[in-house]
Amino acid sequence: MAREKWSGRTSFIFAAIGSAVGLGNAWRFPGLVAKHGGGAFLLVYVIAMILVGVPLLMTEVAIGRKTRQGAPGSMRVIHKKAEGIGWAATANAFVIACYYAVVFAWVLAMVVGAFKIGTDITGASKVFSDSVIQTTWTTSGYSIPWWMFIALFVAWGLIYYCIRNGVSSVSKVVNFTVSAPIVLLLILAVRGFLLPNAAEGLKVFFIPDFSALKDISLWVDAFGQVFYSLSVMMAIMFAYGSFLKRDSNIAADCVIIAVSDMLISVLAGIVMFTTMYGTGLQDSITSSGIATAFIVYPTAFASLTSVPIVNSIFACIFYLMLCTLAIDSAFSIIEGVSTALADKFGTDKKKMTIRVCIVAGIISILFITRAGLAWLDIVDNWCNYVNLLVIGILECVAIGWFFDVRKVHKEVNLNSKGKGMPYWWLNCSIRFVAPLVLSFLFIFNFIKMMITYADGGSYGYAIWAECVGGWLVSILVLISGLLIKFFTKRSQKARALEAETKTWDEINDNLEA
Ligand code: PHE
């Protein structure tokens, strides 16, 4: 059966931008800029994109296109023993999908909750925690607010709707899910510009404070954010690459994707800085993540004007913007997982998509319980600061040292008409810079995490929950290849497909022109 294909060049580019541009752009990036000396962080971020982000993105897409397989199949072509790395990436993505869908459900619920944001600042800051998710802030309390159940159901329904026909439906929805957040961000930016002190905010955002460069954590955050933002090492870009036609220009497309991702981050930063300086909340700007989106922003909206409904409408626009940002990232993760499984077991992709959504949907219920926020925090920490980095290191080492970067390079530049990626650049990045940077990030983060534990666990969660949500989940993710091996032995089809695996050089490029 012929593999699904993007309906055109822009479909791929939009889908990849949709995956890359997510909640991280809106609530992680601006906070990091604020924390690390404004323009100084922007500068290092650009360097990180050039040094490791873009090369890694190109590599994954190119390998996917060549092998026409999801992450595990792709890694198997790279090296017979590397398939497990692809599975670890897939499993990690699956876990992330479970809670990313919940965050999507939160923002959906906040579109309605926005109408509780009036002019009462203290009240507004508590809408999310007290009214919407009713969190206990701890790992105890397992009842579920009924509206969150509905929100989660709607979230999964929407995610499934977007990917129900695989790449052909994704090709259509991304036109909307990529342009809508940009329009909404522009509306918020205009509103922000009109606030007093907006210029002050923009100055802080763009003007570099070079003394911040001395701080190692700036570098760690910049490189970490680049990896997270481009959705690499998540099994997604292999899968998206595998639906490309042979005549696509990977080198150029990946640059477009990375630059767009960066520009949207900057736009989100402009919104954040003008809004916060305009409402006198500049001191809360450095918090990042959930606190920014659900506590700081509502507070800002409550002090936007003296008319409650106007404030609510702007809050509503903001959460709609987050919804459209989140959905295409959320479904890209599911696409990565279902592509990997369908390729391996020769299952119909549509059926596999339903199954993955159902299983992930059931697991995700944990995160909408009143203890869900704490679980999400634990699992998110481990998936991004432990698993993702370990997987990235292994991936780079397998491709750079156990395969031939020259072959990957040839694939990247296949249609670049002389304006492609220089070989030395890709080579240095995949073999040296990326694995070294990832190893450094891993050691740095891990030590920091362990120190926090030793301090009596200032995360404040129960130790058993940290063990289950952290260590256990991570171990399962990293050894998921072994579990798949077990199932492969039992499936005749999977064994037959495995026996058919071709090497890189045997793959016939003309098969599907
Ligand atoms: N890149 C997305 C962001 O910046 C995050 C993401 C995570 C996307 C996992 C896909 C999968 O928010």
In this prediction, residue 198 has a pLDDT band, given cuts at 50, 70 and 90, of: very high
The pLDDT tens digits for 26-35 are 989 999 999 9
DSSP state of 166: T
Q: Would you state the pLDDT for residue 367?
A: 95
Q: Would you state the pLDDT for residue 456?
A: 58
Q: How far is the CA of 10 from the centre of ligand 1 (A)?
A: 20
Residue 122 CB contacts under 8 Å (≥ 6 apart), including other chains: none
Q: Would you state the pLDDT for residue 249?
A: 96
The pLDDT tens digits for 309-320 are 999 999 999 999
Q: Whose CA is nearest to atom 8 of ligand 1?
A: 329
Q: Is the CB of 235 under 6 A from ligand 1?
A: no
User: Residue with structure tokens 């911040």?
Assistant: 212
Single pTM value for the model? 0.94
Spatial contact of 419 and 252, defined as CB atoms under 8 Å apart? yes
Spatial contact of 219 and 22, defined as CB atoms under 8 Å apart? no
Q: Is the CB of 95 under 6 A from ligand 1?
A: no
Residue 60 CB contacts under 8 Å (≥ 6 apart), including other chains: 74, 232, 237, 238, 241
CA-to-CA dists, residue 95 to 142, 280, 347, 489, angstroms: 20, 38, 21, 24
Q: Is the CB of 185 under 6 A from ligand 1?
A: no
In this prediction, residue 513 has a pLDDT band, given cuts at 50, 70 and 90, of: very low
Q: Would you state the pLDDT for residue 498?
A: 87
pLDDT surpassing 60 at residue 257: yes
Residue type, 118: G
Q: H helices within 413-462, ranges in order?
A: 423-428, 434-454
Q: Is the CB of 333 under 6 A from ligand 1?
A: yes
Q: How far is the CA of 397 from the centre of ligand 1 (A)?
A: 23
Judged by average pLDDT, the poorest of 51-60, 280-289, 351-360, 403-412 is: 280-289
Q: Would you state the pLDDT for residue 43?
A: 96
Judged by average pLDDT, the poorest of 99-113, 241-255, 461-475 is: 461-475
Q: Would you state the pLDDT for residue 480?
A: 95
Of the candidates 431, 344, 435, the one whose C-alpha atom is nearest the C-alpha of residue 389 is 435
Q: Whose CA is nearest to atom 10 of ligand 1?
A: 329
Minimum-distance ligand 1 atom for the alpha carbon of 20: 1
Q: Is the CB of 265 under 6 A from ligand 1?
A: no
Minimum-distance ligand 1 atom for the alpha carbon of 25: 4
CA-to-CA dists, residue 36 to 40, 215, 217, 438, 445, angstroms: 7, 8, 8, 20, 17
In this prediction, residue 511 has a pLDDT band, given cuts at 50, 70 and 90, of: low
What tokens does 39 get? 């323009």
Spatial contact of 302 and 120, defined as CB atoms under 8 Å apart? yes
Share of the chain above pLDDT 70, in %: 97
Spatial contact of 24 and 229, defined as CB atoms under 8 Å apart? yes
The pLDDT tens digits for 261-287 are 999 999 999 999 999 999 988 888 887
pLDDT surpassing 80 at residue 488: yes
Q: What mean pLDDT value characterizes the chain?
A: 93
Residue 422 CB contacts under 8 Å (≥ 6 apart), including other chains: none
Q: How far is the CA of 329 from the centre of ligand 1 (A)?
A: 5
Spatial contact of 344 and 484, defined as CB atoms under 8 Å apart? yes
Sign of CA dihedral 440, 443, 445, 451: negative
Q: Would you state the pLDDT for residue 476?
A: 96
The pLDDT tens digits for 353-401 are 999 999 999 999 999 999 999 999 899 988 988 999 999 999 999 999 9
Q: Is the CB of 24 under 6 A from ligand 1?
A: yes
In this prediction, residue 420 has a pLDDT band, given cuts at 50, 70 and 90, of: very high
DSSP state of 208: B
In this prediction, residue 510 has a pLDDT band, given cuts at 50, 70 and 90, of: low
Spatial contact of 124 and 97, defined as CB atoms under 8 Å apart? no
In this prediction, residue 70 has a pLDDT band, given cuts at 50, 70 and 90, of: very high
Secondary structure (3-state) at 482: helix
* Mean pLDDT of all residues in 447-454: 80
Spatial contact of 43 and 209, defined as CB atoms under 8 Å apart? no
Secondary structure (3-state) at 457: coil
Q: Is the CB of 336 under 6 A from ligand 1?
A: no
* Mean pLDDT of all residues in 479-490: 93
Q: Which helix (H) or strand (E) holds 320?
A: helix 308-345
The pLDDT tens digits for 458-479 are 566 888 888 999 899 999 999 9
Beta-bridge partner residues of 38: 208
Q: How far is the CA of 20 from the centre of ligand 1 (A)?
A: 6
Minimum-distance ligand 1 atom for the alpha carbon of 231: 1
Q: Would you state the pLDDT for residue 119?
A: 84
Q: Is the CB of 25 under 6 A from ligand 1?
A: yes
Q: How far is the CA of 217 from the centre of ligand 1 (A)?
A: 21
Beta-carbon-side half-sphere exposure of residue 70 (alpha carbons within 13 Å): 30
Q: Is the CB of 332 under 6 A from ligand 1?
A: yes
Beta-bridge partner residues of 208: 38
Of the candidates 62, 25, 8, the one whose C-alpha atom is nearest the C-alpha of residue 421 is 62
Q: Is the CB of 394 under 6 A from ligand 1?
A: no
Q: How far is the CA of 18 from the centre of ligand 1 (A)?
A: 9
Q: Is the CB of 30 under 6 A from ligand 1?
A: no
Q: Would you state the pLDDT for residue 455?
A: 67
* Mean pLDDT of all residues in 158-162: 97
> Best substitution site from 56, 98, 228 to test ligand 1's pocket, by max atoms within 8 Å of Cβ?
228
* Mean pLDDT of all residues in 163-175: 95
pLDDT surpassing 70 at residue 2: yes
What tokens does 207 get? 């003007």
The pLDDT tens digits for 224-236 are 999 999 999 999 9
Q: How far is the CA of 488 from the centre of ligand 1 (A)?
A: 30
Q: How far is the CA of 226 from the centre of ligand 1 (A)?
A: 10
Of the candidates 438, 426, 437, 439, the one whose C-alpha atom is nearest the C-alpha of residue 400 is 426
Judged by average pLDDT, the poorest of 139-143, 192-196, 269-273, 372-376 is: 139-143
Q: Would you state the pLDDT for residue 381?
A: 87
* Mean pLDDT of all residues in 176-201: 95
Q: Would you state the pLDDT for residue 287?
A: 74
